[in-house]
A and B are shown apart, each in its own frame.
Chain A
Amino acid sequence: MSSARRANPAYALLAPNLLLIVVFLLVPLVWALVMSLQAKRSFGPGRWVGLDNFSRLLGDEVFWRALANTAAFTVLTVPLSVGLGLALALLMDRALPGRAVFRTIVYLPIAVSTLVTSLVGLLLFDESVGIVNGVLRDLGVGPVSWQTDGTLAMLSVAVMTLWTRVGFGMLVYLAALQDVDRDVLAAAEVDGAGAFARVRHVIVPWLRPTTFFLVVINLIWSFQVFDVVYVMTNGGPGYATTMLVTYAYDEGFGPARNFGYGATVGLVLFVLTLLVTVAQLVVQRRRDA
């Protein structure tokens, strides 16, 4: 059979997938680059303005605030998602009565939509009728301003995010722990390594690829945060929890419907995601080589 004829079914099998990617992802990406060079409102015609959108970006305090907030949110969520995931995986790895139930409970938030998570977050952290303040009041602690204090609002958003992410970290770590070489662990124990030393010198190095994967995926998720902020704080109070994506959304789909500028803000997220993904591919390739 000629190679040309053998190639046919491959292209037929790939075509639907590639068509969807090109139409719904690559065309919008190129269009975003075009829009970023235009003054354009809603579906109206774009007027070429060169790099005006980018120079506005550099001088836009709200944009820098959104970028700083996204960075703060990332710092709050990524290390804890991964670290607590590892801690819980170590806790629930060995045999224990009811272990399957404990694991399932920690996994459950994975199946809960971010919208439900965010609404429950509101219910918990509502300043006047919320459950957290209710419990604190019963303990004699005055109402905590989860919604009017910017730092506390950011914290409440991060807490709900962790609730959905720690289970994923634990799940992935538990799978990786199945492959840890039991002989090496036993040898370390014979050599007198305590539990902490075994974790630190055998298990953690062994899990490094898994940790790397989890850090990358959590970074990307944190850069993209939208739902939980949009519902719980809508970026406020003031701009205290405005993130890159909520800002892009407000610019593009808010009253201004500023497609040109909104697309430009979106490109910043694209560049961040690209950097992290490319770094991941480079590291992975080096490891596989």
Chain B
Amino acid sequence: MPRWARLVACVLVSAVFVLPLWAMLVVALTPRELLFDGGAGLWPSAWTLQNFTDLASSFPVWRWFGNALLVAGLTTVLSVTVNLAAGFALAKLRFRGRTVVFVLVLSTLMVPTQAVMIPQFELVARLGLVGLFWAVILPSASTALGVFLARQFFVSVPDELLDAARIDGCSTLATLWHVVLPLARPLVAVMSLLAFMTQWNDFLWPLIVLRDPDLYTLPVALRFLQGQFDTDYGGLMAMALLASVPLLVVFVALQRFFVAGFARSGVK
């Protein structure tokens, strides 16, 4: 394919892929009367911030952001900690029951939340967690992807390094903390980004366990607003835009970490 043809193809593909985001942006900035008048266009004749101000004055938008940050933040810390520890043990320590552990970790791939959501909900309710952020955080902390990424990284850390630390008198935990973790910063970055993004965007499980609108995370809040706004897409798109922009900015800024993480998930 000649160079100019590839360039044209790239431009067309990019146009198609950017269209939904563009539509969201334009409609969020389009005055309501215009939307109901001619329907939504791709280049409105007038702009307004009314949709955003109306949204912020009628709904606890900032509270939803706080919830999202808190839930995704806590999930990230917990998830990175437990998955990193497990990945290290699987890569570098010898112990009995390895196969059992491996099967257990794999089971997080084989048992999707969607398949067991009903008993999971009753369990979480019986534990008294419904209506608490822990109901969202705890079930999503352990992920096979997290454990595998960590294990893969630690396998490449030379044993000599750990042996040297042990000869110097470090316990296993001290070695992990003082010797291994400082090496693992890129790994921690990748795992954190993936965990944060997954939780920030998760919908079905928070929908099931968060009942109070004051506790909603952003996707559940968006679903709630869908019911409030119906086809008044201006306000809906304003919220959709607000919910997406932070993650899009982080994604573009730290793209190489995301790409590394996803790529390693797929390429053995």
Contact = CB atoms under 8 A, between A and B. Distances in A.
Contacts, number: 317
B47 to A, nearest CB: 17
Interface string B203-240: 11000100000000011001100100001010011001
Contacts of A55: none
A20 B142 contact: yes
Interface in B13-32: 13-14, 17-18, 20-21, 23-24, 27
Contact of B88 (A13, A112, A124): A13
Interface residues of B, number: 99
Contacts of A18: 86, 101, 104
Q: Please classify the interface of chain B as helix (H, G, I), strand (E, B), loop, or mixed, using the class held by over half of its residues.
A: helix
Q: Please classify the interface of chain A as helix (H, G, I), strand (E, B), loop, or mixed, using the class held by over half of its residues.
A: helix
A106 interface: yes
A145 interface: no
A108 interface: yes
B53 interface: no
A173 to B, nearest CB: 9
Nearest to A251: B118
Contacts of A163: 17, 20
Contacts of B262: 110, 168, 171-172, 175
Interface string A182-218: 0000000000000100000000000001100110010
Interface residues of A, number: 105
Contacts of B111: 25-26, 28-29, 270, 273
A289 interface: no
Interface in A67-123: 88, 91-92, 94, 96-99, 101-102, 104-117, 119-123
B117 A249 contact: yes
A259 interface: yes
B20 A120 contact: yes
B163 interface: no
Contacts of B265: 172
A32 B266 contact: no
A245 B114 contact: yes
Given A124-B20, A175-B263, A91 B116 contact: no
A62 interface: no
A9 interface: yes
